[in-house]
Structure 1
Amino acid sequence: MLNRRDFLKSAAVAAAGTGALPGLIGNAMAATAKARHHVVIVGGGYGGATAAKYLRMWGKGAVDVTLIERNTSFVSCPISNLVIGGVKQIEDITVSYDNLKSKWGVKLITDEATAIDLDKKTVTTAKHGAIAWDRLILSPGIDLLPGRIGGLEGNQERIPHAWKAGPQTVLLRKQLEAMPDGGVFAMHIPRAPYRCPPGPYERACLVANYLREAKPKSKVLVLDANGEIQSKKALFTQAFERYGALIEYVPNSALQSVDATTLTAELEFDSIKADVLNVIPPMRAGNIAATTGLPLVNDAWVDVDWLTLEAKGLPGVHVLGDALFPAPAMPKSGHMANQHAKVAAAAILNLFEGLPPNPTPVVMNTCYSFVDSKNVIHVASVHQFDAAKKQPMPVEGAGGVSAMANDLEGKSALAWARNIWADMLA
């Protein structure tokens, strides 16, 4: 078990593994024999599962934690492109929630949160009714908005997104396997911000890697609504170039509509017919956050107090991960959601003790991207809270990107996945 002293000592290893946060806890993490508090968490992804474990661990069992999660197991979005590319199986990115229950004493409810009453401090679920909370953590991830693209609503079995790991990941892999040699795999990337900035470009590489080996007459067509590659631009440009005619990248390709029968993508000035059409729709904070009346920026992302991760103007309601309106240069990533969870868990425990949150939290991010089955590139960053700007800011000179793709980073990427899954769930 990681105690307060060990946690502070481990801060320096954050970027290499799970990402501990230096100076996070402040001076008040010891549990006391005071009245018990109850934290309810909605969403068991990188943010919610981490928060559940760390509240129990740092609180030394003195805080009751209920985690509401619709899925019976955790399935990781990071690494899921390897499943689509045929390098991994869905079982390789699936982890049980059992340790949260048996080892850490988290009460896990497999259910759907349907409504939140901020006045009564309750979460209503589809099967378990209303659950009361002293503090609430929402880690709902993203909801996709297929209705904003003509013809896509209701057709995402025919035109999958695979932007939430699970059945859609397997579906897209099967479509790719069934595609004829000489076929076109066309994918569309929405305008930023979206979950996992480098993810679509990694997917293009891994699909091209599969096609090069199995269906070399085929082609990957990357239709990007953005004007340029959104993450690791130089490195992905090099990767695309190494695939030659297998990958065609087309920026400024805003998607207007699709035809699910013919698998046709209608752009502003062009019409593209594909054999496999992978459309990542526009997205916003998960529906439970968007419909609860939380403060939204651009009607999409939750605005938070970065010292506690509480929604602006709603004390006691904390929001983590991809659902947030990002601070400058802060990606929507699994690693960052894990870091948000630790900031929130530490702040909540301090607040339960009547103490302020740590005034200078630091969060870190490392994101690995496969450009083929073995070679990987990464980007890393460190973000320090700036009191004047009231938000985390990138630390100059910290982090950076790979010099080039290499197989050593491929080993590091898989180790990162194992480490962060263990940090959340072991």
Structure 2
Amino acid sequence: MKRRQFVQSIGAGSALAGLGLMSGCATTGGSSAKVVVVGGGFGGATAAKYVRLFSNNSIDVTLIEPNAAFVSCPMSNLVVGGHSTMAEITTPYSNLSQRHGVKVVRDMVDSIDPVKRTVKLASGGELPYDRLILSPGIDFMPTLPGMAKAGAADKVLHAWKAGPQTVALRQQLEALPDGGTYAISIPLAPYRCPPGPYERACMVASYFKVAKPKSKVVIFDANDDITSKKGLFTKAWADHYAGMIEYRPKHKLVDVDAVTNTLKFEFNDDFKAGVANVLPDMRAGNIAVKTGLATANARWCEVDFLTFESKAQKNIHVLGDAIQIAPAMPKSGHMANAHGKTCAAAVVALLNGQEPLANPLYANTCYSFVTAKDVVHVASVHKYDAEKKTMVTVPGSGGLSSAASELEGAYAKAWARNIWADSLA
């Protein structure tokens, strides 16, 4: 199979039909079972939809999500660069309820009682569950004292949760005078979307190249080197943004002065930016930590990869960016979508007294825009290793783009449409 065909074949949705997840799942049993899903991102929305599908709509599914619509982190850097709009990356939750019978509750979760198997809502209500699927995404660790000061978080943005901060960061870039500097600070891995910060640097530079040609992009990376697609990004910077993007590795951020937009580093000189874009250290979402599920360095949730059941609490499954990842498994939207299907199949099987699939296999593709049209990708395939009890990459699978191209740009946009539909339509 040619590389281009392979990349297309592991796009959103195909990880389901060809990998055996549907086998033995459809059932008419479990009619009294209740599944509560917390978080309507790629993992949670997919899990909610597929529990209904795999159970022939016999299992009662409630999705708790505070937002009125899903806003995609993948493709949001295009909005930052001025090449897309928020409307184009936003999908309503209405299809989950209207087409699949998922009960969507717009609320936050205040607490979870694993013994009583109940979820307490911020509004005061309480929901019982037989199985709880938690897809809380990421939250940020309070390691930067300056960001705790009044008004700091409204000025020095992360925009790493697509939504209002995406728009606000775009507005900051528009207000920056020509000749000003945009600085992005990247935390030590693991963090959500390994290539995302480098893609963002490209998108900001693409805007500067047209509108503010005297401006610069400076990347401060706490890691020793670029964590994903190094050769492809460095080539894009040289080919398209020579003299405009500066990359500085081994710059661990220890504080921020939001009044002056000054970044302070552990061993390097302070840097004052026109626009400071700080990605703090990340961990599993607050509700997972509060429930005692973040057992890996108090940051990430350890799970059984056959079912995504928490190793800390029975009957609670954790998906997506919040988990302690397997080797070479990225924290990506595509991966969370695969988690959601695998978990949904396992939950339906368990609620019907069946064994979960013993050999799950799924794929990941991550596209990155290096210009408004040119895109590169990285792909991987992961299978369960029964001896190691974790997911491992399939030898010889996946790979990188040979070069950026507009054709891959078309693939990237098709991938986004497909995965949004697979998760939410």
Q: So what's the TM-score if we normalise by structure 1? A: 0.95
Aligned to 2:248: 250
Do the aligned partners of 1:13 and 1:19 also contact (CA within 8 Å) in 2? no
Aligned to 2:60: 64
Instruction: Give 1:157 shift.
Output: 1.0
Instruction: Give 1:17 shift.
Output: 3.2
Give a deviation string over 1:211-261, Cα, whole Å, max 9, x none. 000000000000000010000111111112221111000000011211111
Instruction: Give 1:298 shift.
Output: 1.4
Aligned to 2:309: 310
Choose which of 168, 172, 177 in structure 1 pairs with 2:174.
177
After TM superposition, list the pairs within 5 Å mapping 1:182-221 onto structure 2: 182-221=179-218
Q: Which whole-Å CA distance do the structure 1 matches of 2:155 and 2:294 have between them?
A: 35
Give a deviation string over 1:344-388, Cα, whole Å, max 9, x none. 000011111111111100011000000010000000000000001
Aligned to 1:276: 275
**Aligned residue pairs: how many?**
415
Choose which of 75, 79, 85 in structure 2 pairs with 1:79.
75
Do the aligned partners of 1:26 and 1:358 also contact (CA within 8 Å) in 2? no
Aligned to 1:162: 159
Q: 1:12 to 1:77 in 2, by over 3 A?
A: closer
Do the aligned partners of 1:19 and 1:365 also contact (CA within 8 Å) in 2? no
3-state SS of paired residue (1:67): strand
Aligned to 2:3: none
3-state SS of paired residue (1:197): coil
Structure 1 unmatched ranges of 5 or more: 1-10
Q: Which whole-Å CA distance do the structure 2 matches of 1:356 and 1:388 have between them?
A: 18
Q: 1:288 to 1:13 in 2, by over 3 A?
A: same
Instruction: Give 1:27 shift.
Output: 4.6
Instruction: Give, as a single letter, the amino acid of the residue that structure 2 aligns with 1:187.
Output: I
Instruction: Give 1:406 shift.
Output: 0.4
Aligned to 1:373: 372
Do the aligned partners of 1:19 and 1:339 also contact (CA within 8 Å) in 2? no
Aligned to 2:321: 322
After TM superposition, list the pairs within 5 Å mapping 1:87-236 onto structure 2: 87-145=83-141, 147-154=142-149, 155-236=152-233
Give a deviation string over 1:289-348, Cα, whole Å, max 9, x none. 011011521110000000000001422110000000010000000000000000000001
Do the aligned partners of 2:192 and 2:331 also contact (CA within 8 Å) in 1? yes
Q: 1:191 to 1:297 in 2, by over 3 A?
A: same
Do the aligned partners of 2:12 and 2:422 also contact (CA within 8 Å) in 1? no
Aligned to 2:44: 48
Instruction: Give, as a single letter, the amino acid of the residue that structure 1 aligns with 2:290.
Output: T
Worse-superposed segment, 298-307 or 21-30: 21-30
Give a deviation string over 1:133-153, Cα, whole Å, max 9, x none. 0000000000012x2013112
Q: Which whole-Å CA distance do the structure 2 matches of 1:368 and 1:26 have between them?
A: 27
3-state SS of paired residue (1:103): helix
Q: Which whole-Å CA distance do the structure 2 matches of 1:86 and 1:225 have between them?
A: 27
Structure 2 unmatched ranges of 5 or more: 1-5
Instruction: Give 1:57 shift.
Output: 1.2
Aligned to 1:16: 11
Instruction: Give, as a single letter, the amino acid of the residue that structure 1 aligns with 2:284.
Output: A
Aligned to 2:424: 425
3-state SS of paired residue (2:417): helix
Instruction: Give, as a single letter, the amino acid of the residue that structure 2 aligns with 1:263.
Output: N
Instruction: Give 1:12 shift.
Output: 10
Instruction: Give, as a single letter, the amino acid of the residue that structure 2 aligns with 1:251.
Output: P
Do the aligned partners of 1:23 and 1:361 also contact (CA within 8 Å) in 2? yes
Give a deviation string over 1:95-154, Cα, whole Å, max 9, x none. 000100111000000000110000000011111511100000000000012x20131124
Q: 1:406 to 1:344 in 2, by over 3 A?
A: same
Q: Which whole-Å CA distance do the structure 2 matches of 1:30 and 1:326 have between them?
A: 29
Q: Which whole-Å CA distance do the structure 2 matches of 1:25 and 1:264 have between them?
A: 50
Instruction: Give, as a single letter, the amino acid of the residue that structure 1 aligns with 2:251.
Output: S
Aligned to 1:8: none
3-state SS of paired residue (2:147): coil
Q: Which whole-Å CA distance do the structure 2 matches of 1:270 and 1:30 have between them?
A: 60
Aligned to 1:266: 264
Do the aligned partners of 2:218 and 2:245 also contact (CA within 8 Å) in 1? yes
Instruction: Give 1:33 shift.
Output: 4.4
Q: 1:186 to 1:75 in 2, by over 3 A?
A: same
